[in-house]
Chain A
Amino acid sequence: METRLQAEDIQKTFILYLQGGKKLNVLKRVYLTLGAGECVALTGPSGIGKSTFLRVLYANYKPDSGRVLVFHRGQWINTVEADPYHILDVRRYTIGYVSQFLRVIPRVPALDIVAEPLQRLGLSPDESRLQAQDLLRRLNIPESLWEVSPTTFSGGEQQRINLARSLIYPYSILLLDEPTASLDEKNRAVVIQLIREAVARGTAIVGVFHDREVRETLATREFDVSTEGTE
């Protein structure tokens, strides 16, 4: 199994200066090696740092120490130390991340938001939109909403837009933070199927899945951020 990502000795403390410099010691020496075709479910009680760890892997949070090595365009890059320009390149080509929030410019239609990652990689606007349509159809987003900005969508619809943005391109690494949290049963099944297809393609996944059924269906192994992997 080819290694896609390696997190070494990750420590993360938050210092809250507005609260008198209070320190929150969240991650203590976490190590994780992730291979192609693996789907690792982060476990442990809530508040233990699962989402924090995902964000560190995406370089959205900066750890106090340690390295996050990502296999990107044929070489290893440590995103803890990399320049923003290179981190953004990693996010364009290698790592997709599905958060629980959708942050978009209000005026842009859903279809263009989903097509954007492909366009950024140089695919023509028409071809990008075509692929976005296929995915939105699979995710049961009614055609009447495609030309509308998702800022007005329901929670479940926004979540599916977020997912579509990350599933439209075959990133070699996907980070999923509660990807099915606000979905009904029918759409949850669709999303599970799409994630399984990604894993079958060799995508390496790290996710937080609160829903036990989803976790048991998808995960190839579980990883407790608070105890396992620490040395």
Chain B
Amino acid sequence: MIFSKEPLLKVMGMTKYFGDRVGCRDISFELWPGEVLGIVGESGSGKTTLLNTLSYHLEPTRGIILYWSEQQGLVDLGQLSESQIRYLMRTEWGMVRQNPREGLRMRVSAGANIGERLMALGVRHYGRIRKEVQKWLERVEIDTDRANDLPETFSGGMLQRLQIARNLVTQPRLVLMDEPTGGLDVSVQARLLDLLRALVAEFNLSLIVVTHDLAVVRLLTHRLLVMRHGEIVESGLTDQLLDDPHHPYTQLLVSSVIQV
């Protein structure tokens, strides 16, 4: 990991209302290059709203989101046009959905799922696209013989790995993940965690991972936000929050984990 002098992302007072109802409120945090941020909290605590607001799938009601872009330097997402945001999301950001079927195109081949992202960025050289597709299938441990198969024929773990390859082929710097290991077998989860950790180290990638699984949090994340009713109740270094939780709600979360 390369030590950086500036954060990658700085969120200040981000708030999202749906009419009168709070989606998330007064969210502030920093994320640094190569850092993995976990967001935990019970269902309905605003975790997914936070991800969607951060990536401007939903427009925040108020608040500032600053991002240190590789191509454009420091940008305030609120000042960008819709097409500039879309460009940023396609190039420097990625989004991995809990259900890979929502993040993949199920009617085109696995290889095309990866390759079309490069084509969207203007890469036209077919040989180069094919090489990148092969490289990424290998990197996420999918047999390259399966490149022409439809994702429908893949297992849940493979689909999730394919979705990750589709996101990483454009070399983003920040990837948002909504329950990436949700619904997978435990052994498949371990493999995915191992892969994610290796990718983070290899590309100095930053991740924001929404999960309700505290084991995933401990093994993958560096920094943690605990959310309740749309607000952050506690935040800090992951192992500090898990081993020495100060807020009553964090204590409840940590003590509710069933030990094996």
- List residues of A whose CB falls within 8 A of some B CB: 14-18, 55, 59-62, 83-85, 87-89, 92, 103-108, 119-120
Are A18 and B251 closer than 8 Å at their CB atoms? yes
Residues of A within 8 A of B144 (CB): none
Bound-state CA distance A108–B198 (Å) is 11
Residues of B217-260 at the interface with A, using a CB-CB cut-off of 8 Å, are: 218-219, 222-223, 236-240, 243-244, 246, 248, 251-252, 255
Residues of A within 8 A of B246 (CB): 15, 62
Residues of A within 8 A of B239 (CB): 60
Residues of B183-205 at the interface with A, using a CB-CB cut-off of 8 Å, are: 187, 190-191, 193-194, 197, 201
| CB < 8 Å neighbour of B244 from A18, A60, A83, A89 | A60
Residues of B120-160 at the interface with A, using a CB-CB cut-off of 8 Å, are: none
Bound-state CA distance A18–B249 (Å) is 9
Top 5 nearest A-B pairs (CB, nearest first) are A17-B248, A84-B237, A106-B190, A61-B244, A85-B32
Are B252 and A18 closer than 8 Å at their CB atoms? yes
Whether, in the assembled complex, B35 has its beta carbon less than 8 Å from a beta carbon of chain A, the answer is: yes
Can you add 17 more A-B contacts, CB < 8 Å, to A61-B243, A107-B187, A119-B201?
A55-B243, A55-B244, A59-B237, A59-B240, A61-B240, A62-B236, A62-B246, A83-B30, A84-B223, A84-B236, A85-B223, A88-B237, A103-B219, A105-B190, A105-B219, A106-B190, A120-B1
**Chain B: minimal CB distance from A104 (Å):** 8
Residues of A within 8 A of B1 (CB): 92, 120
Bound-state CA distance A210–B99 (Å) is 50
Q: Which partner residue on chain A sits nearest B249 by CB separation?
A: A17
**Chain A: minimal CB distance from B181 (Å):** 12
Bound-state CA distance A60–B239 (Å) is 6
Given A83-B30, A84-B237, A105–B194 Cβ distance below 8 Å?
yes
Bound-state CA distance A103–B191 (Å) is 15
Q: Point out which of A55, A59, A84, A89 has the most chain B C-beta atoms below 10 A from its C-beta.
A: A84
Are B240 and A105 closer than 8 Å at their CB atoms? no
Binary interface encoding of chain B residues 7-46 relative to chain A, with 1 for a CB under 8 A from any of its CBs, else 0: 1000000000000000000000010100100000000000
| CB < 8 Å neighbour of B3 from A15, A16, A60, A89 | A89
Are A17 and B251 closer than 8 Å at their CB atoms? yes
Residues of A within 8 A of B193 (CB): 105
Bound-state CA distance A92–B201 (Å) is 13
Are B201 and A88 closer than 8 Å at their CB atoms? no
Residues of B within 8 A of A119 (CB): 201
Given A84-B223, A84-B236, A120–B201 Cβ distance below 8 Å?
yes
Are B194 and A18 closer than 8 Å at their CB atoms? no
Residues of B within 8 A of A104 (CB): 219
Residues of B within 8 A of A55 (CB): 243-244
Q: Which partner residue on chain B sits nearest A82 by CB separation?
A: B237
**Chain B: minimal CB distance from A165 (Å):** 15
**Chain A: minimal CB distance from B101 (Å):** 25
**Chain B: minimal CB distance from A85 (Å):** 4
Are B223 and A107 closer than 8 Å at their CB atoms? no
| CB < 8 Å neighbour of B255 from A15, A18, A61, A92 | A18
Bound-state CA distance A15–B246 (Å) is 8
Q: Which partner residue on chain A sits nearest B7 by CB separation?
A: A85
**Chain A: minimal CB distance from B180 (Å):** 14
Q: Point out which of A18, A59, A85, A107 has the most chain B C-beta atoms below 10 A from its C-beta.
A: A85
Q: Which partner residue on chain A sits nearest B251 by CB separation?
A: A17
Residues of B within 8 A of A17 (CB): 248, 251-252
Bound-state CA distance A14–B246 (Å) is 8
Q: Which partner residue on chain B sits nearest A58 by CB separation?
A: B239
**Chain B: minimal CB distance from A138 (Å):** 26
Bound-state CA distance A104–B220 (Å) is 10
Residues of A within 8 A of B248 (CB): 17-18
**Chain A: minimal CB distance from B245 (Å):** 9
Residues of B within 8 A of A103 (CB): 218-219
Residues of B within 8 A of A88 (CB): 222, 237
Given A83-B30, A88-B222, A120-B201, A16–B194 Cβ distance below 8 Å?
no
